[in-house]
């Protein structure tokens, strides 16, 4: 009888561990989904709505580590560049094609167009988020060509 009780207790303990593991996975999935939603909101707020003040307040952390070699660190440097650019290019917009997340990283693939009729640039931004704000950035940018060696699109 004692063996049955011990085996039963072990089974309950294993079940609890599995439940804890599932809860952690659910929590991770919820964080990733929240980060994707917030990142899409923030990119639209800045690039399409051109609401620079709201984007700065709601979307960027006090620390913003920049891995683009042509841009300095810090959110103030980003907004010092973006403000005159967006004011000078009122028709500029991004067209988001896909988004993915893993842990605290979000990838956004989009077409960045300075004017509605431009081919634009294919961009992938990789953003690290803390507490729903961007704190680190990597990007890959490629001009969309008029002609392609294949029939696939960049999007």
Q: Is residue 137 assigned to a domain? A: yes
Whether residue 115 is contained in a domain is answered as yes
Question: What pLDDT is recorded for position 13?
Answer: 53
Domain span holding position 70: 2-143
Residue 60 in domain:
yes
Residue 122, domain member (yes or no): yes
Residues forming beta bridges with residue 125, ordered by sequence position? 108, 139
Give the mean pLDDT of 58-80: 96
In a domain, 104, yes or no: yes
Pairing of strands 133-143, 60-66: parallel
What's the rounded Cα separation, in Å, for the pair 35 and 101?
Answer: 7
Q: How many domains does the chain have?
A: 1
Residue 153 is assigned to a structural domain of this protein: no
144/126 Cα distance (integer angstroms): 19
- pTM listed for this prediction: 0.82
pLDDT of residue 16: 53
Do residues 140 and 124 make contact, with C-beta atoms less than 8 angstroms apart? yes
Domain for residue 148, yes or no? no
Residue 6 belongs to a domain: yes
The CATH number covering residue 31 comes to 3.10.450.50
Q: What is the tens place of the pLDDT at every residue in 94-119? A: 999 999 999 999 999 999 999 999 99
Query: Does pLDDT of 146 surpass 90?
Result: yes
């Amino acid at each position: 009888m004692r063996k049955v009780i011990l085996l039963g207790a072990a089974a309950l303990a294993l079940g609890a561990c599995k439940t804890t593991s599932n809860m952690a996975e659910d929590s991770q999935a919820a964080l990733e989904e929240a980060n994707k939603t917030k990142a899409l909101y923030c990119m639209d707020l800045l690039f399409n709505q051109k609401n620079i003040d709201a984007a700065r307040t709601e979307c960027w952390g006090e620390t913003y580590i920049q891995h683009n070699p042509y841009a300095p660190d810090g959110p103030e440097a980003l907004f010092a560049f973006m403000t005159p650019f967006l004011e000078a290019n009122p028709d500029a917009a991004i067209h988001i094609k896909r988004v993915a997340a893993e842990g605290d990283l979000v990838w956004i693939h989009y077409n960045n167009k300075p004017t509605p009729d431009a081919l634009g640039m294919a961009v992938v931004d990789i953003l690290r988020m803390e507490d729903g704000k961007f704190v680190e950035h990597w990007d890959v940018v490629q001009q969309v060509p008029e002609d392609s060696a294949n029939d696939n699109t960049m999007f």
